[in-house]
Amino acid sequence: MNELSPFFKALCEDVRLKIIALLMPRELCVCEIIEQLNLSQPAVSHHMKILKQAGLVNDRRDGRWIFYSLDKERFMQLEHLLDEQLFEPVRNCPSESGSIPNAKCRL
């Protein structure tokens, strides 16, 4: 579960969720993110730092510009962790009525 904490912390802000959505189709320059979200450069940099620390985005420098993209491999790893840590125990839990897990199986 400790592996999931940075992921959830990084995504608990609406602005960061919007950034993830912007980056889904393609790589973007910081200036494009600033323009799309109508935020200041320091505010975007702050959010990008958190997303980067969580391993959700990659960055590359081209001259004085920084471009960001989603780390799709990390998202696939997180999908696997979520399935393994949260959903698999519930799916494999015997239930009393066939649809609701019994008290011993609750997370």
The helix or strand, by DSSP H or E, that contains position 58, with its residue range, turns out to be strand 57-62
Round to whole Å and give the CA distance between 82 and 87: 7
Whether the model clears a pTM of 0.95, i.e. scores above it, the answer is no
pLDDT tens digit sequence for 3-43 = 677 888 888 899 999 999 999 999 999 999 999 999 999 99
Domain limits, the chain: 5-105
Is 69's pLDDT higher than 90?
yes
Query: Coil, helix or strand for 63?
Result: coil
Round to whole Å and give the CA distance between 46 and 61: 17
> Going by CATH, does the domain composed of 5-105 fall within 3.30.70.360?
no
The one-letter code for the residue type at 30 is V
Round to whole Å and give the CA distance between 44 and 38: 10
Q: ∠ at Cα 9 (107, 47), nearest 5°?
A: 165
